[in-house]
Amino acid sequence: MYGHLELTDREYFDPEKYCHSYKDYAGNPVNVGVQQDAQEYLNGFLDKIERALKPTPFKNIVHGIYGGTTCSVIKC
């Protein structure tokens, strides 16, 4: 999706096929009517990439690039 926008002259991308191909952890299509924030989406996306690369020599690449610690603070 991002590569398409970067590598073509088109100014838009129709995400319909992507949304239908993106699966949850159980392998079911995600409900596109349920809103996720960017952090939820990115965590799930990187987790899927990490699991797919586990049996390859690139198993640590996601952690090497994006590794770190997250912290949430709620103040009242």
Q: Which pLDDT score is estimated for 22?
A: 81
Contact partners, residue 4, CB within 8 Å, separation at least 6? 10, 13
Residue type, 62: V
Give the chain's end-to-end CA distance (angstroms, integer): 39
**In the chain, where the domains are located:** 2-66
- How confident is the model over 6-63, as pLDDT tens digits? 888 888 888 888 878 888 778 888 887 888 788 888 888 888 899 999 999 999 999 8
Q: Which pLDDT score is estimated for 36?
A: 79
Phi-psi region of 23 (alpha: psi -120 to 50; beta: other; left: phi over 0): beta
- The pTM of this model reads 0.59
Q: In the chain, what is the greatest distance between 2 CA atoms, to the nearest angstrom?
A: 47
